[in-house]
Chains A and B, each alone.
Chain A
Amino acid sequence: MALEVDIEKRLGAFHLRAAFSCGREFMGILGASGCGKSMTLKCIAGIEKPDRGRIVLDGRVLFDSEKRINLPPQQRRVGYLFQDYALFPGMTVRQNILCGLHREKDKQKREKRADEVLELLRLQEVAALQPEALSGGQAQRTALGRILVNEPDLLMLDEPFSALDTYLRLKLQTELKALLAGYDRGILMVTHDRDEVFRMCDRLGVMEQGQMLTVKGTKELFADPETRAAAVLTGCKNIAAAEKTGEREAFVSEWGIHLSTGKPVRDGLKAVGIRAHDFHPDTSENRFPVTILRETEEPFEWISEFTFDDQAAGSPPVWWRYSREFRTNEPPKQLGVAPADVLLLYE
């Protein structure tokens, strides 16, 4: 494993406890704002100091509270891409990139490397511009170039796309992913955007209120989030308390329904989740009579809010999202959900 983290830090009522490892892979940490994910990155970079614990990168101890080791950020060789890119003002794109090359003493080699990176990142045309004249994408590539020429042992991305609008975000995500495809070190990205982690990350950890919950492959985590927090963060709209009633059966009293599940139900089941996309009018399993309350049209989809016929009074309506091509004149009287799509949540 390239990076091993096991740290604890208290800040007032907030308590950060993060234990995970990250190999030579693209790993994501998904969490709401204020959950401690940026704090975790700052602890790894050496900008913040954890109260207790250990951080090891490629066998180098960056922090160890017991051995009183706390390397300054300058010695950690950890790249940090800030949300606002943190380009140095009053310096051109090229000068910013040269800042990352300060360890190279040979001026000619330095200049040559800067030229290479400017070309690789398609920044030649803006090389002489100051940061504030750049577009969001150019600024991000400059910041990335400055880090890459510095050759860190780990690259960390702190909400790298949240300063951009939706269209540009998607474009830059694919662009950054392609750029980093050849990068052979670990990459750690934190974000609150589930689409972003799904597009970019191989492996994913979920963080809630300073606690690192489930860590597993991104697709596996979306398919089986295991905890209520992870289900919410991965975008599950419908979650209700549930209890185990059989080996593959759970009762959801709030919705007044018995669900068969794909996976065996373990003891300690707390809730079930059903993604809004996973209801189908034609599915024969877990099929229940419903009443549609309200419909909202979106550019390519419809959202229907409905209640199960035996749903408890006061319980919020359930969301069903479907592609507009499946729209029928009469709203369906019954909806079903495949057992494999019932998410079993234990915390």
Chain B
Amino acid sequence: MDLFPLYNSLRIAAISSVIVFFTGIFAAYKVAKMPRIVKGILDVILTLPMVLPPTVCGYFLLLLFGARRPVGQFLMQFGLKLVMNWPGGVAAAVVVAFPLMYRTARGAFESFDQNLAWAGQTLGLSNTWIFWKVRMRACRQGILAGTVLAFARALGEYGATSMLIGYTPSRTATVSTTVYQLWRTNDEQGAFFWVMVNLAISAAVLLTVNMLEKKNRSGKWHSK
């Protein structure tokens, strides 16, 4: 049995989760501080990939990273080929999973008690320290939820991924594209195996979320 799709899916999901974690938090932190109108506009743009069909996201990604497009050519100079290559899967997963991280993190930041940051500042603590040790800690539940959701979404990504990197066994195949491909070629058993793999991963993710939530609840802090 070739386990490449599992390996490929996990590395795409892991790398894109790390990227989405930082970019999502950064965007959420910046947008939460913007004036209302700018906030509204940016919010629509940044959330759009969540409501658009993934194939539409894939279409835009092809427009951007295609071999004859400027961005695609620019990246090629560094040997980074996204189309029909597994790093393209990361790009697809990032775009689709980003809004989940962004929105949950922004919700958490907006309910953050600003007095905590001010208290830190008047104590002479640096803004960077306050961000990581106080703000992120107070918002950890939202951040954590966002990260897990983003990871799960990246893992299950199909539409944009198949547009951008297609299905090449042992090169670009992911769990979800493999399920479709095997089903299409009448390999019902193979499809069933990968469906079960997918179910197991999803169940594991949800179980982790529940356990982390319980742990957090028994930890005593409630932000007011």
B220 touches A86 (CB 8 A): no
B140 touches A82 (CB 8 A): no
Instruction: Check A89/B223 contact, CB under 8 A, given A80-B118, A84-B113.
Output: yes
Tell me how far the C-beta of B215 lies from the nearest C-beta in chain A, rounded to whole angstroms: 12
B122 touches A80 (CB 8 A): yes
- Mark the stretch among B14-22, B42-50, B130-138 that contacts chain A: B130-138
A336 cross-chain contacts in B, Cβ below 8 A: none
A143–B115 CA distance with the chains assembled, in angstroms? 12
Interface flags, A48-73, vs B, CB<8A=1, else 0:
00000000000000000000000011
A89 touches B122 (CB 8 A): no
A102 touches B125 (CB 8 A): yes
Q: Considering only CB atoms and an 8 Å cut-off, how many residues of chain B contact the other chain? A: 23
Contact of B200 with A by CB under 8 A: no
A84–B116 CA distance with the chains assembled, in angstroms? 10
A77 touches B113 (CB 8 A): no
B223 touches A79 (CB 8 A): no
A83–B134 CA distance with the chains assembled, in angstroms? 18
A88 touches B122 (CB 8 A): no
Interface flags, B184-224, vs A, CB<8A=1, else 0:
00000000000000000000000000000000000111111
A146–B140 CA distance with the chains assembled, in angstroms? 23
A102–B134 CA distance with the chains assembled, in angstroms? 15
A102 touches B220 (CB 8 A): no
A133–B122 CA distance with the chains assembled, in angstroms? 24
Instruction: Check A79/B122 contact, CB under 8 A, given A84-B115, A88-B133.
Output: yes
Contact of B76 with A by CB under 8 A: no
A147 contact from B118, B123, B125, B223, Cβ within 8 A: B123
B66 cross-chain contacts in A, Cβ below 8 A: none
A78 touches B220 (CB 8 A): no
Instruction: Check A80/B124 contact, CB under 8 A, given A89-B221, A89-B223, A90-B137.
Output: no
A74–B120 CA distance with the chains assembled, in angstroms? 8
A214–B172 CA distance with the chains assembled, in angstroms? 77
A79–B119 CA distance with the chains assembled, in angstroms? 8
B124 touches A45 (CB 8 A): no
Residues from 108 to 152 in A contacting B, C-beta threshold 8 Å: 130-133, 143, 146-147, 150, 152
A45–B116 CA distance with the chains assembled, in angstroms? 14
Interface of A, secondary structure class, is: loop
Tell me how far the C-beta of A23 lies from the nearest C-beta in chain B, rounded to whole angstroms: 21
Q: Which residue of A lies closest to B221 (CB)?
A: A89
A86 contact from B118, B125, B126, Cβ within 8 A: B118
B118 touches A82 (CB 8 A): yes
Contact of B121 with A by CB under 8 A: yes
Contact of A46 with B by CB under 8 A: yes
Contact of A103 with B by CB under 8 A: yes
A90 touches B221 (CB 8 A): yes
A89 touches B119 (CB 8 A): no
Contact of A47 with B by CB under 8 A: yes
B125 cross-chain contacts in A, Cβ below 8 A: 74, 99, 102
A76–B123 CA distance with the chains assembled, in angstroms? 9
B220 cross-chain contacts in A, Cβ below 8 A: 130, 132-133
A45–B114 CA distance with the chains assembled, in angstroms? 14
Instruction: Check A103/B124 contact, CB under 8 A, given A88-B134, A90-B140.
Output: yes
Contact of A317 with B by CB under 8 A: no
B219 cross-chain contacts in A, Cβ below 8 A: 90, 130
A132 touches B118 (CB 8 A): no
A130 touches B224 (CB 8 A): no
Tell me how far the C-beta of A38 lies from the nearest C-beta in chain B, rounded to whole angstroms: 11
A77 cross-chain contacts in B, Cβ below 8 A: 124
A45–B125 CA distance with the chains assembled, in angstroms? 14
A131 cross-chain contacts in B, Cβ below 8 A: 221
B119 cross-chain contacts in A, Cβ below 8 A: 80, 82, 86, 88, 143
Interface flags, A288-329, vs B, CB<8A=1, else 0:
000000000000000000000000000000000000000000
Contact of A100 with B by CB under 8 A: yes
A128–B190 CA distance with the chains assembled, in angstroms? 55
Instruction: Check A47/B118 contact, CB under 8 A, given A102-B123, A132-B221, A146-B123.
Output: yes
Q: Which residue of A lies closest to B119 (CB)?
A: A86
Sample 26 A-B pairs with CB under 8 A, ordered by A number.
A42-B118, A45-B121, A47-B122, A74-B124, A74-B125, A77-B124, A79-B122, A79-B123, A80-B118, A80-B119, A80-B122, A82-B115, A84-B115, A86-B119, A88-B120, A88-B137, A89-B116, A90-B137, A90-B138, A90-B219, A103-B124, A130-B221, A132-B220, A132-B222, A147-B123, A150-B123
Q: Which residues of A contact B (CB under 8 A)?
A: 42, 45-47, 72-80, 82-84, 86, 88-91, 99-100, 102-103, 130-133, 143, 146-147, 150, 152
Q: A84-B224, A132-B220 are in contact. List 12 more A-B contacts (CB 8 A).
A: A46-B122, A72-B121, A73-B118, A74-B121, A79-B122, A86-B113, A86-B116, A102-B124, A103-B124, A130-B220, A130-B221, A150-B123
10 tightest Cβ-Cβ pairs between the two chains A and B: A86-B119, A73-B121, A89-B221, A86-B115, A80-B122, A90-B137, A132-B220, A82-B115, A74-B124, A130-B220
